[in-house]
Amino acid sequence: MKCPFCENKETLVKDSRHSEDGEIIKRRRYCSDCGSYFRTLEYLLIPEILVIKRNGSNVPFSIDKLLHSMKIAVRKRSVQHEVIEEAVLRISKIIRKENKVTSNYIGALAMKELSSIDQVAYIRYASVYYDFNSIADFTSFIQKVSDE
């Protein structure tokens, strides 16, 4: 693994940790050239799954895109990155059984995960998922969530 700081190609693995389900390996690495530590995350590559978008187009599923969108939702919240990574892996485990899924289905799974992690992040994600256009949209959604 190449060092992200000095681009040395010879780095050392100092520590490896496996997830409970054995599908992720987190490695702490050390670069002997510049003395930097960094972490890598290894996960199972999912066979190509097509995502059917709202406009009807098909794109390959990207675990990184899902992770990025959920990290945006929890930005400036006290949510550990590992919690979001685990949620993304649970979602990918569910959809990997399919050849095609809709973006709505992935969004619903993400919202379900976020609702149990952080309510504010859940509402942030929902505002994009449901394309909120006004304060009334937020108010209506928050009222609906509060009633559940």
- Over the chain, what is the mean pLDDT? 91
Q: How confident is the model at residue 46 (pLDDT cuts 50, 70, 90)?
A: low
pTM of the model: 0.69
Q: Is the pLDDT of residue 42 over 90?
A: no
Q: What is the tens place of the pLDDT at every residue in 65-86?
A: 999 999 999 999 999 999 999 9
Query: pLDDT tens, 124-136?
Result: 999 998 889 999 9
Q: What angle do CA 122, 101, 107 make, to 5 degrees?
A: 10
pLDDT tier, 147 (very low <50, low <70, confident <90, very high otherwise): confident
- Angstrom distance (rounded) from CA 60 to CA 48: 6
